[in-house]
Chains A and B, each alone.
Chain A
Amino acid sequence: MKARGLREIFWFSLSGLCVVIVVGMLGLVIGFIIAKGAGAINWEFLSEMPRNAMTEGGIWPAILGTLLLSLGAIAFALPLGLVAAIYLVEYSRDGKLRRWIRIGVNSLSGVPSVVFGLFGLALFVNFLGFGACILAGSLTLGLMVLPTIIRATEEALKSIPMSFREASLALGATRWHTTVRVVLPAAVSQILTGVILAVGRAAGETAPIMFTAAVFFTKRLPSGLFSKVMALPYHIYALLTEGTHPAEQTAMAYGTALVLLMLVLLVNGAAIFFRIRARKRKKW
C-alpha cells in the first residue's frame, strides 16, 4: 500500500514537473523577447523607415511588408483552398481519386518551407518572370498554407450535420445552393479559425520569402504588387547576419522580434475569439 502511494506521488510530481518545464520555457521565450526588445519599442520604431544602416529609425516597412505578404497569401490561398475543400467534402464520392488527393494535400503540408521558397523562386520569380516581389512572395506563402486551409475547411464542413444538407436538398436546392446558403454559413467561424492560424504561420516564415520577395532594406514603401518588400522575420535575420554595427542592430533585432511575436499572438487571439464564438453559436 505504501509503495503504491509513493509511486502515485512520484508520477504525479513528475507529470506536474513536465508541465512546469513546458510552461516555463514558453514564459521564458516570451519574457526574454520582451526584456530584450521592449527597450527598442516606441512610436518612432513602429512608424518610421530605418536610418543609418538600420541602426536607427524604425521598422515600419517591414511591418507593412509582412502584413501585405500575409494578406496576399490569404487572398490567393483562401478561395482556392475553400473551393477545393468544398469539392472534397460536398461533391466527390469516396474513392481512389479522393484518397490520392488527400495524400497529396497531406504531403504538401509536410514539405519544408525552404523547399517552397526554392519552388517559388523557380516558378514565380524566374519562369513566370515576376522577379522577387510581393506577388511572388504571396503566391509562395499561399502555396505553403494551402494544405492547412484545405484541412481546416474540410474539418469545418464535415462537422456540419448531414441533416442540414438533407433538409436543404429535400426542398429542391442544388448541392451548390446547399453548400453556399446552409453549410458554409454554419461552418464559417470554424473555417475562419483555421485560416487565421494559417495567416499567423505565414507571417512568421522566413524561408519562403527569402528568395521570392524580401530585401534587407528599401528606401521606399512598396508601390505595387511587383515591389520588393521588407518583412519582419527576414529583417531579424538581416540585422543579425549582415550588419556592420552589431551592438545597435542586435537591439533592433529584438525589438523587431517582439513586434513579430505580438503580431502573431494578436492573430492567434483573433482565432481563439472566432473559435469561442463558433462554439457558443453551435446548438446542433
Chain B
Amino acid sequence: MVDVQLTHREIKPEELVAKVSIEKLDLWFDDTQVLKDVSCAIPEKAVTAIMGPSGCGKSTLLRAMNRMHDLTPGCRIRGKIRLDEMNIFESGTDVYELRRRVGMVFQRPNPFPKSVFENVAYGLKIHGRHSRAVLDQAVEKALRDANLWDEVKDKLHRSALDLSGGQQQRLCIARALAVEPEVLLLDEPASALDPISTAKLEELIEKLQDDYTVIIVTHNLQQAARVSQYTAFLMLGELVEFGVTDEVFTAPSDQRTENYLRGIFG
C-alpha cells in the first residue's frame, strides 16, 4: 500500500494507509481542462475534505472517483485513480462493483419515489437476491448506522419523499451504506439543509469515519474545519495544498490557500 504523502512538510503523520490514490489526473470536458495534474493520496478511515472556490473542479474530482463521468459525453480523463491497488480506469474494471465499493451522496437529497424501506433495500436487490429476513436486517443496520432508525422505524413503508430534507439526506447515506461500501463520497451534502439538519449530518459524518473512508466536497470552510481530519484545497483545477486540516487552516504552506482562507475569514 502507498504511504500517504502530505504536501505539508512539518507534520509527519504516523503510518497512514492510502485508500484512494490519485496520480497525475487530467480531466477535460470537450476542450476545457477542468482538472490539471492532480495527485494526492487519501487516507483510509478518515474524513478528507475537498474545498475550494466554486468552479475549481472539486465535484468533478469527486465524481471521477466512482467513474460517474462515464455518463458525460465529451469527458476525457488521463492519469490514474487507484482504489487500494486497482486503477479504476483500467479497461477490465467492473464499474458496477466499483460503484458498490465507492458509494456516493449528492448535493440535493435524491431518494427514489419509493418507500423508506425500498430505498435502502434497492442497492442490495440490484446486487443479488436476498431473503426477506436478510433485507430486513440489512435495512435496519443501514438506517441505524445513518442515525435515522429511531426517526423512521414506524414509517418504513411510507414514501421517502414525505421525510424532511435532512432525513432524506441521511436516508441517502443509509442507502449508500446498505451495499457495504469502503469509500463514501459526499458532494456538498449539507448545501440544501437547514442548520439543525446540517449539525445532525456532520455528527453522522464524524461517526462514519470509524468504518469508512469519507471524502466530502464542501465550499463551506467552517464545515471542512469541523468534520475533516485532512483537507485538500483545489483552485482552478489544480491541487494547491493537501494536509492535516488543522495545519492547512492555521499555517497554510501556499500563498493561494492563505489568501482564500483570509478572504473568507475577513
Hey, which chain B residues are within 8 Å of A245, CB to CB? none
Hey, which chain A residues are within 8 Å of B88, CB to CB? none
Hey, which chain A residues are within 8 Å of B103, CB to CB? 170-171
Hey, which chain B residues are within 8 Å of A93, CB to CB? 73
A171 touches B68 (CB 8 A): no
A172 touches B68 (CB 8 A): no
Hey, which chain B residues are within 8 Å of A170, CB to CB? 66, 68, 99, 103-104, 106, 176
If A93-B73, A171-B176, A172-B97 touch, does A166 touch B110 (CB 8 Å cutoff)? yes
A171 touches B97 (CB 8 A): no
B79 CB to closest chain A CB (Å) equals 22
B106 touches A284 (CB 8 A): no
Hey, which chain A residues are within 8 Å of B100, CB to CB? 171-172
* A128 within 8 Å of B (CB atoms): no
B112 touches A169 (CB 8 A): no
A209 CB to closest chain B CB (Å) equals 39
Name the residue on B nearest A182 (C-beta). B112
Hey, which chain A residues are within 8 Å of B172, CB to CB? 167
Cα separation A167 to B172 with both chains bound (whole Å): 9
User: Could you tell me which residues of chain A, from 160 to 179, have a CB within 8 Å of some CB in chain B?
Assistant: 161, 163-164, 166-174, 177
* B175 within 8 Å of A (CB atoms): yes
* B96 within 8 Å of A (CB atoms): yes
B126 touches A172 (CB 8 A): yes
User: Could you tell me which residues of chain A, from 248 to 284, have a CB within 8 Å of some CB in chain B?
Assistant: 281, 283-284
Name the residue on B nearest A283 (C-beta). B161
* A242 within 8 Å of B (CB atoms): no
Number of chain B residues whose Cβ lies closer than 8 Å to a Cβ of chain A: 29
Q: How large is the interface on A (under 10, 10 to 19, 20 to 34, 35 or more residues)?
A: 20 to 34
* B1 within 8 Å of A (CB atoms): no
Q: Which of A169, A171, A173 contacts B71 (CB 8 A)?
A: A169
Hey, which chain A residues are within 8 Å of B108, CB to CB? 163
B110 touches A167 (CB 8 A): yes
Cα separation A238 to B71 with both chains bound (whole Å): 56
A42 CB to closest chain B CB (Å) equals 47
Q: Mark B68-104, 1 if CB is under 8 A from A, else 0.
A: 1001010000000000000000000000111110011
B residues adjacent to A (C-beta < 8 A): 66, 68, 71, 73, 96-100, 103-104, 106, 108, 110-114, 122-123, 125-127, 159, 161, 172, 175-176, 179
Can you name 20 A-B pairs with beta carbons within 8 Å? A161-B110, A163-B106, A166-B68, A166-B106, A167-B106, A167-B110, A168-B122, A168-B126, A169-B68, A170-B66, A171-B100, A171-B103, A171-B123, A172-B100, A172-B126, A172-B127, A172-B179, A173-B126, A181-B122, A186-B112
Apart from A166-B106, A170-B176, A173-B122, what are 9 other A-B pairs with CB-CB below 8 Å?
Answer: A166-B68, A167-B110, A167-B111, A169-B68, A171-B122, A172-B179, A173-B123, A182-B122, A283-B159
